[in-house]
Amino acid sequence: AQTVTQSQPEMSVQEAETVTLSCTYDTSENNYYLFWYKQPPSRQMILVIRQEAYKQQNATENRFSVNFQKAAKSFSLKISDSQLGDTAMYFCAFMKTQGGSEKLVFGKGTKLTVNP
C-alpha cells in the first residue's frame, strides 16, 4: 500500500522569507501524481500544486515550487516570499489508481505559521 510521510508536524517562518515543507512517499507504481493541498482555518481544501511522476521538470505555481526526486521518493514544497495568508495546514498527497477511480492518499500534514 502507498504511504505518504510528512515528518514536520509544525513549522514557522517569518513573512517574506522562504520555507520548505518535506514529504516522502512509498510506492511500487511507476506512474502517479503528487499533490500539495492547503487547508486554511476555514478548512476548505485548496490545491496548491501538482506533479506528474513521468515529468522530470519540477512544477511551479507563482511562489510555490516543488523539488521532486523520483528515485528518492521525495516531494518537497518550497514557499517563497511567505505571506500571512499562507498560514495553514499543508497536506502532501499521492494519487493511485484502483478499480478505475483515482484515490488520494494524504500525509498527516504540516501546520505552517507565517509570522509578521
50: enclosing H helix or E strand? strand 46-52
Site string for another protein, 13-52 (x = CB under 8 A): --------------------x--------xxxxxx--x--
Please count the CA atoms within 13 angstroms of the CA of 104 that sit on its side-chain side: 13
In angstroms, the CA 5 to CA 98 distance is 21
Q: How far is the CB of 5 from another protein (least distance, A)?
A: 11
Given the complex with another protein, which of 13 and 45 has the nearer CB atom? 45
Q: Which of residues 52-91 bind another protein (CB under 8 A)?
A: 91
Q: How far is CA 33 from CA 12, 41, 45, 52, 102, in A?
A: 27, 26, 17, 5, 10
In angstroms, the CA 88 to CA 22 distance is 15
Q: How far is the CB of 10 from another protein (least distance, A)?
A: 10
How many residues of this chain interact with another protein, rule: CB under 8 A? 20
Given the complex with another protein, which of 57 and 101 has the nearer CB atom? 101
103 binding another protein? (CB under 8 A): yes
Query: What does the radius of gyration of the chain's CA atoms come to, in whole angstroms?
Result: 14
Q: Find how far residue 28's CA is from the centre of its chain.
A: 20
Given the complex with another protein, which of 80 and 113 has the nearer CB atom? 113
Residues that bind another protein (CB under 8 A): 33, 42-47, 50, 91, 95, 99, 101-109
